[in-house]
Amino acid sequence: MCKKRIHRLLFLQLCLASVFLHFACNLSFERVSKVATLPTLRATPREIELRGALVDVSPADTIVEYGFLLAIDKDPTAFEPDTVLKVAQGAFTEPRVFSERFPVAALIGVKEKAIIARAYAVKSSGEILLGGVERYVLSFGFVNNVNLTPTSLSFDIVLFFGDSCKANVLELVGSPYGVLLGSRREVTLLNALDKREFVIGDDELLACLSASALVKQVSFNNLKPGTLYFLRFYRVGLSGVPHYGEPHPLVTPKQ
């Protein structure tokens, strides 16, 4: 009796195993083609390095084009983007990460600073796949209302603060920044002839939180006529280490 029961149990197990193998062999997991918009690694007032990915490509699909849709202050769609940035065309059947550097000036003027990006892919059937939306608000500054005489220089610094300042807005309080005046290209805090320094406070925090412009007036006097000078923006980090921008040459007029 025991042997018969054992044989029956073994037979039942074999039957169940064969049924499981039958379903397992005929079971298919459907892969769906997807595209994703990845966070940018680099965003400056001059250019943005956009990143996207073909997360998966179904065996039944072929991707014939992929890239990015760009817009200002709105959700870009496949139908009404301000700019379509094609990264590649062809026949793609494997997942891949793609990126493209885009010059900001090609899309927006100096006063615009909010850019919306969305990765897209086009199937061979014509169907358009869209990734999620990434929004970039850039921080930058420029000089306006310049008045240069043989012995003086005055101008406005117009500053825009981007999303990065919101992440550590409280830590920025008390950090100095400003502009240096020097006689050599690599002007620093140690060799500057003069400087105009500001400290991040309530005005800067309000501009950061509201993504609005902040204007600071700067003037240098007692300059020499017909002399080459260099201006350079700087800020001092939380660790006390200064960070410098590119030097800008200027020559005072002769009297």
Q: Residue 180 pLDDT > 50, yes or no? A: yes
* Residue pLDDT, tens place only, 131-178: 888 876 555 555 667 888 999 999 887 776 655 566 656 677 888 888
- 35 with 50: CB under 8 angstroms? no
How far is C-alpha 119 from the chain's CA centre?
A: 14
> What angle (nearest 5°) sits at the alpha carbon of residue 229, between those of residues 225 and 232?
145
DSSP state for residue 57 in the 8-state scheme = -
In total, the chain counts a number of residues equal to: 255
Q: Pick 34-137's CATH classification: 3.40.190.10, 2.60.40.10, 3.90.550.10, 1.10.3720.10.
A: 2.60.40.10
Q: In the chain, where are the structural domains located?
A: 34-137, 140-251
Residue 95 zone, left/alpha/beta (φ > 0; ψ -120 to 50; rest): beta
Q: Are 177 and 201 a contacting pair, CB within 8 Å?
A: no
Domains 34-137 and 140-251 share a fold: yes
DSSP 75-131: ---SSS-SEEEEEEEEEE-S-EEEEEEEEGGGT--TT--EEEEEEEEEETTS-EEEE
pLDDT tens across 50-96, in order? 889 998 888 888 999 999 888 766 655 555 676 788 888 899 988 88
DSSP structure class, residue 173: T
The residue with greater pLDDT, 106 or 93, is: 93
What digits encode the pLDDT tens for the residues 230-241? 988 888 877 788
**Which amino acid type is present at position 228?**
L
Query: Among 73, 69, 178, which Cα is nearest to 118's?
Result: 69
Phi, psi of 124 (to 5 degrees): -65, -20
Which three-class secondary structure string do you get for 137-169? ECCEEEEEEEEECCCCEEEEEEEECCCHHHHCC
Distance between CA atoms of residues 37 and 119, nearest Å: 5
Which is higher by pLDDT, 224 or 162?
A: 224
pLDDT at 46: 57
| Per-residue confidence (pLDDT) for residue 73, from 0 to 100 | 60
More confident residue, 35 or 73: 35
Is the model's pLDDT at 33 over the cut of 50?
yes
Taking residue 212's Cβ as centre, other Cβ atoms within 10 Å add up to 12
- The domain 140-251 is placed in CATH, from the list 3.40.50.1390, 2.60.40.2060, 3.40.47.10, 1.10.10.10, at 2.60.40.2060
User: CB of 148 within 8 A of CB of 142?
Assistant: no
When pLDDT is cut at 50, 70 and 90, the band that residue 15 belongs to is very low
